[in-house]
């Protein structure tokens, strides 16, 4: 019998040279981004004042199956990719499950998460376009860290609007971004019109990704054309870049003679999950394989499991185009969950469409359940996971425990998106028993739904 190693590293030559566009395999395309005023689908020219032109093209291209990864981007990828596929032997043993658990570990780069995969691509296209810099938001700080590194590498400025509660709770994240010369502003701030408006309405707000996006978009649009806004999740272009995770995973599993029965990933805006599942979902949609796909989200911010499939703004200040997605309403401000990267009101339009059409499932967990899983994983597998990633761990553990009940030896693949070394306040809060589980009531959620745009496309939702 073939011995399956603990860690499988593909060689540099095996690293994919193209990204895969999952939309090209979808029988039904996600609904288009529309202009909030005209309600008409947006073209590249409409998006060009906000996004880099090549990224705007990628955003709107639903048909090209494979996109060449520029050689300059590949050069950076080679510094930290291919990332390992790891068999969780010790976790399997601790659970007493017949299931085989694999995880794709994206935390082995200096940014500590999968976010670098898209940051490098986006910074590269900005540089190619001759821009001086980019603006962005960051929640937990991982995206801001990754983008700062990528911008520093390509010689661009990087203005990061960081959700205020993370800015205050994670000074070291801010310091890392400082090492890479990023300018970090706590959001909401007084530096933008959107920030001032949010502060006037809610002076004590600890911020949200939605608020920070409004500020970053405004800063780019006000730059006189020298900067563009970049986003680390949600968008089609980001899922395209993140497909490298799934492509490598599939190749590595093939080397082992394996194929997953279930793929599990955490879902904030959907970028790691969309990237991880891309080739597997394509196999499922084209009838080649039958694989279950499970999204895991926090019970405190349950976009898939309790949200509505509607057209909504991607930000709180309502300055972005409208996307059709599972959303809690752009006015929904999630409670201060420790998995900051999952505190977003919306979800990738691609994943939203797939979920709506019944091609994938979603579950939610309370944060204490997630930290319990994180600590079991850390003790068995010796990696301290990011709280966001721990949602996927919890989902995978529950799948493995189901196998223990049924006696099935299923193959489970999950995405371990990052490490949690900057999240020690959260771990401390769990270990001291101070961590609480806040789950919004239906009335809380209704306040968010009341903020959905009142447009014909949203009638009857």
Ligand X SMILES: Cc1ncc(COP(=O)(O)O)c(C=O)c1O
Q: Which two tokens stand for residue 301?
A: 């911010």
Helices (H), 184-321: 193-201, 209-221, 236-255, 271-285, 303-306
* Strands 85-87 and 7-8, bridge-based pairing: antiparallel
d(CA 111, CA 72): 19
**Residue 9 backbone dihedrals phi, psi, to 5 degrees:** -105, 125
The residue among 133 and 269 lying less far from ligand X, judged by its C-beta, is 269
Exposed e or buried b per residue across 371-386, where buried means at least 16 C-beta atoms within 10 angstroms of its C-beta: bbbbbbbbebbebbbb
Binding segment toward ligand X, per CB under 6 A, in 41-49, 148-156, 173-181, 268-276: 268-276
| Per-position x/- string for 315-354, each x denoting binding to ligand X as judged by CB under 6 A, each - no binding | --------------------------xx------------
Exposed e or buried b per residue across 13-44, where buried means at least 16 C-beta atoms within 10 angstroms of its C-beta: eebbeebbbbbebbeeebbbbbeeeeeeebeb
d(CA 382, CA 290): 32
Q: Rule CB under 6 A: which of 130-189 touch ligand X?
A: 139-140, 142-143
The residue among 142 and 337 lying less far from ligand X, judged by its C-beta, is 142
The residue among 317 and 387 lying less far from ligand X, judged by its C-beta, is 387
Longest dimension (CA), the chain: 67
The residue whose Cβ lies closest to ligand X is 341
DSSP string, 64-78: --EEEPPHHHHHHHH
- Shortest gap between Cβ of 443 and ligand X (angstroms)? 27
Q: Which two tokens stand for residue 255?
A: 């080397």
272 binds ligand X (CB under 6 A): yes
Crossing angle of helices 116-128/236-255, nearest 10°? 130
- Shortest gap between Cβ of 272 and ligand X (angstroms)? 3
Q: Can you list the positions of beta strands (E) in 287-376?
A: 292-298, 308-313, 322-327, 361-365
Count CB atoms within 10 A of the CB of residue 200: 9
Q: Rule CB under 6 A: which of 411-440 touch ligand X?
A: 417-418
Binding test (CB under 6 A) with ligand X, winner from 186, 210, 246, 270: 270
Binding segment toward ligand X, per CB under 6 A, in 124-132, 262-270, 354-362, 364-372: 262-270
- Shortest gap between Cβ of 342 and ligand X (angstroms)? 6
Binding test (CB under 6 A) with ligand X, winner from 88, 199, 328, 386: 386
Binding test (CB under 6 A) with ligand X, winner from 182, 267, 296, 426: 267
Q: Residue 143 in contact with residue 166, Cβ under 8 Å? A: no
The residue among 223 and 233 lying less far from ligand X, judged by its C-beta, is 233
Binding test (CB under 6 A) with ligand X, winner from 188, 269, 329, 448: 269
Crossing angle of helices 236-255/349-356, nearest 10°? 70
Q: Residue 66 in contact with residue 20, Cβ under 8 Å? A: yes
268 binds ligand X (CB under 6 A): yes
The residue among 131 and 230 lying less far from ligand X, judged by its C-beta, is 230
Q: Rule CB under 6 A: which of 99-128 touch ligand X?
A: 113, 115
Closest CA to 360 of 451, 285, 436: 285
The residue among 198 and 231 lying less far from ligand X, judged by its C-beta, is 231
The residue among 195 and 420 lying less far from ligand X, judged by its C-beta, is 420
The residue among 21 and 271 lying less far from ligand X, judged by its C-beta, is 271
Number of residues in contact with ligand X under rule CB under 6 A:
22
Binding segment toward ligand X, per CB under 6 A, in 65-73, 219-227, 267-275, 321-329: 267-275
Q: Rule CB under 6 A: which of 39-58 touch ligand X?
A: none
Q: Residue 367 in contact with residue 388, Cβ under 8 Å? A: no
- Shortest gap between Cβ of 118 and ligand X (angstroms)? 9
**Residue 165 backbone dihedrals phi, psi, to 5 degrees:** -65, -35
263 binds ligand X (CB under 6 A): no
The residue among 106 and 159 lying less far from ligand X, judged by its C-beta, is 106
| Per-position x/- string for 280-319, each x denoting binding to ligand X as judged by CB under 6 A, each - no binding | ----------------------------------------
The residue among 97 and 377 lying less far from ligand X, judged by its C-beta, is 377
- Shortest gap between Cβ of 73 and ligand X (angstroms)? 19
The residue among 97 and 387 lying less far from ligand X, judged by its C-beta, is 387
* Strands 411-416 and 262-266, bridge-based pairing: parallel
Exposed e or buried b per residue across 423-441, where buried means at least 16 C-beta atoms within 10 angstroms of its C-beta: beebbebbeeeebeebebe
- Enumerate binding residues for ligand X (CB under 6 A): 113, 115, 139-140, 142-143, 233, 266-273, 341-342, 386, 388-389, 417-418
């Amino acid at each position: 019998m073939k011995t399956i190693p603990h860690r499988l590293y593909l060689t540099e030559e095996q690293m994919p040279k193209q990204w895969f566009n999952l939309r090209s395999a979808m029988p039904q395309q996600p609904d288009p981004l529309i202009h909030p005023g005209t309600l008409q689908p947006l073209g590249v020219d409409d998006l060009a004042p906000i996004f880099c032109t090549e990224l705007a093209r990628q955003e709107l291209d639903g048909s090209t199956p494979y996109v060449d990864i520029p050689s300059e981007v590949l050069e950076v990828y080679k510094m930290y990719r291919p990332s390992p596929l790891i068999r969780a032997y010790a976790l399997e043993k601790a659970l007493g499950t017949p299931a085989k658990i694999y995880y794709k570990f994206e935390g082995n780069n200096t940014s500590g998460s999968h976010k670098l995969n898209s940051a490098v691509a986006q910074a590269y296209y900005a540089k190619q376009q001759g821009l001086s810099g980019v603006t962005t938001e960051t929640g937990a700080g991982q995206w801001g860290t990754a983008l700062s590194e990528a911008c520093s590498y390509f010689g661009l400025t990087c203005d990061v609007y960081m959700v205020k509660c993370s800015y205050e709770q994670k000074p070291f994240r801010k310091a890392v971004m400082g090492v890479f010369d990023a300018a970090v502003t706590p959001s909401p701030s007084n530096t933008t019109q959107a920030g001032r408006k949010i502060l006037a309405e809610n002076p004590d707000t600890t911020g949200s990704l939605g608020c920070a996006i409004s500020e970053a978009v405004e800063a780019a649009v006000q730059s006189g054309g020298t900067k563009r806004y970049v986003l680390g999740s949600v968008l089609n272009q980001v899922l395209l870049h993140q497909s490298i995770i799934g492509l490598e995973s599939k190749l590595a599993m093939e080397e082992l003679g394996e194929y997953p029965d279930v793929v599990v990933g955490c879902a904030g805006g959907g970028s790691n999950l969309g990237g991880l599942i891309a080739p597997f979902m394509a196999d499922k949609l084209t009838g080649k394989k039958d694989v279950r796909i499970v999204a895991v989200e926090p019970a405190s911010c349950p976009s898939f499991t309790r949200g509505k499939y509607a057209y909504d703004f991607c930000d709180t200040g309502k300055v972005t185009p409208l996307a059709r997605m599972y959303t809690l309403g752009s006015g929904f401000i999630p409670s201060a969950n420790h998995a900051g990267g999952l505190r977003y009101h919306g979800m990738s339009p691609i994943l939203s469409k797939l979920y709506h059409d019944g091609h994938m499932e979603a579950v939610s967990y309370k944060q204490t359940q997630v930290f319990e899983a994180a600590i079991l994983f850390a003790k068995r597998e010796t990696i301290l996971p990011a709280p966001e990633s721990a949602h996927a761990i919890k989902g995978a553990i529950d799948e493995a425990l189901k196998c223990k009940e049924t006696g099935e030896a299923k193959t489970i693949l999950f995405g371990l998106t990052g490490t949690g070394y900057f999240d020690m306040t959260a771990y401390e809060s769990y270990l001291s028993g101070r961590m609480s589980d806040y789950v919004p009531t239906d009335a809380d959620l209704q306040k968010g739904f009341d903020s959905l745009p009142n447009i014909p496309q949203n009638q009857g939702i």
